[in-house]
Structure formats: C-alpha cells, structure tokens
C-alpha cells in the first residue's frame, strides 16, 4: 500500500509551523478552507461580497473542521487577468480584518502574490500565512518581506501567469523541473530568514491534465524536501474535464483525488468543501492507524 513506504521511514519531515507564537500541528493532515472575496473565481466567485456573507462562510469553514481559512481577493483561474493592487487590497483587507476580529483563534492565510499587499494586511490585521501562487515570480520583494514579517509562506510552483499559463505548458520532467524550482526558492527563502515554508506543486497552474496526474502519481517525490506539502485540487478542471462535467459536479472526484493526495504525503488540503475533506482525512487516518 502507499500509506507506508521506504521513503516515509527515512525522511523526517517538518510537522509544525508557527504563526504568531502559536503552533499549527501537521502530524496529522489538516484542511484549509477557501474563502474567495472575488467576483470572478472559477467556482464560487461573487458569493461572498458582503461582511455578513464573509463571516457566514468563515464560520462554516471553522464549524466543518478546517484548521486554516485562506482568504483570496484576486481570481487566478486560467485566463484571468488579475486585478489592480488597489482592488485587491480593498477586498482583502476588510475581509481579513473582519474574520480576525470575529474569529480571533482562527489561523488565517492570505492568498496574494504582492509583497506590499501582504505587508499591509499583516501590519493592519496581525500575522497571517502568505499563500503566494507565483512562488516569488511576480514580486521580487516577496521573500524579503516574508522574512521581515516572520510569517509562514506557501511556496507554489507556476509556469507562466494565470492569463497564459495553460497555453501549451511544457516540461522535460514535470516532477524534476518543479523540484529544481523548489530547491532554488527554498534556498532563497532561507537566506531571507523565512522560518516556515510550505511547498505546493501548483496543480493546474501551467500544467496539462497529463502533467497534473503525473504530479499526483509521483507526489511522494517531494518528501525529499522534508517540508509540509499542500495540495489544492478542489473542483479543478483536471477533475471536471476528465469526468465531462462542471466544477459544480466535481465534488466526488475532488474527494477521490484528495484521498490520493493524502496517500502521496499531503499535509494540507486546500478545498472549497471542508466537511467532505475533513471526513476524507478522518478515514485516511483510521486506515493508516490500522497498518
């Protein structure tokens, strides 16, 4: 079975991250619930425009068992052109402030690739995990900013930009190429003083369907970094296009692939559907305990 491998026995991975003096324990996989305050995200864009709706969604995420709330204010779906810094901040800052005020014990992540936005939100709202879909590609000041702020950083791989990333993405070897990227960026983050790094191979971000499934099949290759691993495949096109459905019809496929991600070593599942992901983790942990 994939649950116990030779690699698991010899690679001791980091199982905690610190946020504002508090520990997030990853000894067992945790769930990150998505809260998009965007008008145009591929699945739930426009649902959470008001403070009331934002707080209802945050409460739902926590009640269903998520450990982290990930707040995003720019759509990064394939073909999206992004938003201005002003637009992003006008959406992200009040949402983050409100969530932190009403749920002070919640761990919050902000989904941004702009160092200035990250710095402003953290200064005004307090420490947050920074989830950067560009892995530092879009803002050369990001790594130094994270180091100065002393917060955890999610290092995601992307090829190209959201606007053009699905236009014929190519790799010599998708896992090897992404591993080279992680090796370089982790060194740079360490030099910048970043203490907690989470890696994310970036399913769907400059990858074909074949690339995505190869990544999932070889996910345990990233254990060599001995860093927490996040997987975000919730309702993505690698599921709904294969099943000839829509994002709305991709929940069952998401649960199946989340299970495979856990078998491959995922520590964090980033999802729209928290309850189902938490149940997936619970079953996985029971199965692992019986080995």
* Tokens at 76, concatenated: 């990064």
| Pairing outcome for strands 107-111 and 68-72 | parallel
235 pLDDT above the threshold of 90: yes
Average pLDDT, the chain: 91
For residue 270, indicate whether it is catalytic. Answer: yes
Q: Which of 100, 114, 223, 270 is catalytic?
A: 270
| Pairing outcome for strands 16-19 and 22-25 | antiparallel
Tell me how far apart the alpha carbons of residues 66 and 60 are, in angstroms, rounded to a whole number.
9
Q: Which of 77, 185, 236, 275 is catalytic?
A: 236
For residue 236, indicate whether it is catalytic. Answer: yes
Q: What is the pLDDT of residue 78?
A: 65
92 pLDDT above the threshold of 60: yes
Asked if residue 228 lies in contact with residue 198, where contact means CB atoms within 8 angstroms, the answer is: yes
Q: Of 182, 175, 158, 187, whose CA–CA distance to 264 is shortest? A: 175
Architecture in CATH for domain 29-75+87-277:
Alpha-Beta Barrel (3.20)
What percent of the chain lies above the pLDDT cut of 90? 83
Q: Of 266, 219, 272, 228, whose CA–CA distance to 250 is shortest? A: 272
Average pLDDT over residues 104-133: 97
H or E segment to which residue 111 belongs? strand 107-111
More confident residue, 190 or 4: 190
Average pLDDT over residues 81-109: 93
Tell me how far apart the alpha carbons of residues 96 and 72 are, in angstroms, rounded to a whole number.
9
Main-chain phi, psi angles of 19, to 5 degrees: -135, 115
Please state the domain extents for the chain: 29-75+87-277
Alpha helices in the chain (DSSP H): 6-10, 51-63, 85-102, 115-125, 142-149, 174-191, 209-217, 237-240, 251-263, 274-289
7 pLDDT above the threshold of 70: no
More confident residue, 84 or 107: 107
Q: What is the pLDDT of residue 77?
A: 66
């Amino acid at each position: 079975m994939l649950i116990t491998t030779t690699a698991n026995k010899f690679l001791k991975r980091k199982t905690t991250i610190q946020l504002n003096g508090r520990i997030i324990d990853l000894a067992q996989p945790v769930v990150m619930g998505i809260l998009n305050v965007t008008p145009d995200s591929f699945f739930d864009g426009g649902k959470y425009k008001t403070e009331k709706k934002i707080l209802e969604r945050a409460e739902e995420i926590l009640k269903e068992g998520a450990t982290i709330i990930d707040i995003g204010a720019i759509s990064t779906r394939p073909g999206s052109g992004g938003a201005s810094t002003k637009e992003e901040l006008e959406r992200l800052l009040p949402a983050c402030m409100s969530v932190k005020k009403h749920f002070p014990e919640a761990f919050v992540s902000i989904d941004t690739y702009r160092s200035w936005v990250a710095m402003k939100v953290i200064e005004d709202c307090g420490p947050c995990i920074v989830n950067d879909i560009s892995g530092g590609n879009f803002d050369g000041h990001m790594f130094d900013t994270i180091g100065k702020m002393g917060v955890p950083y999610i290092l995601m791989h992307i090829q190209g930009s959201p606007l053009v990333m699905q236009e014929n993405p190519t790799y010599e070897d998708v896992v090897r190429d992404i591993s080279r990227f992680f090796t370089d960026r982790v060194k740079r983050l360490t030099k910048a003083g970043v203490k907690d790094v989470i890696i994310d191979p970036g399913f769907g971000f400059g990858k074909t369907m074949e690339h995505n499934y190869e990544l999932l099949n070889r996910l345990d290759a990233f254990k060599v970094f001995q860093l927490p691993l996040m997987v975000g495949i919730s309702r993505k096109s690698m599921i709904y296009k294969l099943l000839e459905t829509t994002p709305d019809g991709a929940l069952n496929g998401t649960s199946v692939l989340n299970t495979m991600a856990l078998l491959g070593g995922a520590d964090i599942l980033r999802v729209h559907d928290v309850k189902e992901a938490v149940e997936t983790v619970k079953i996985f942990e029971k199965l692992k305990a019986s080995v």
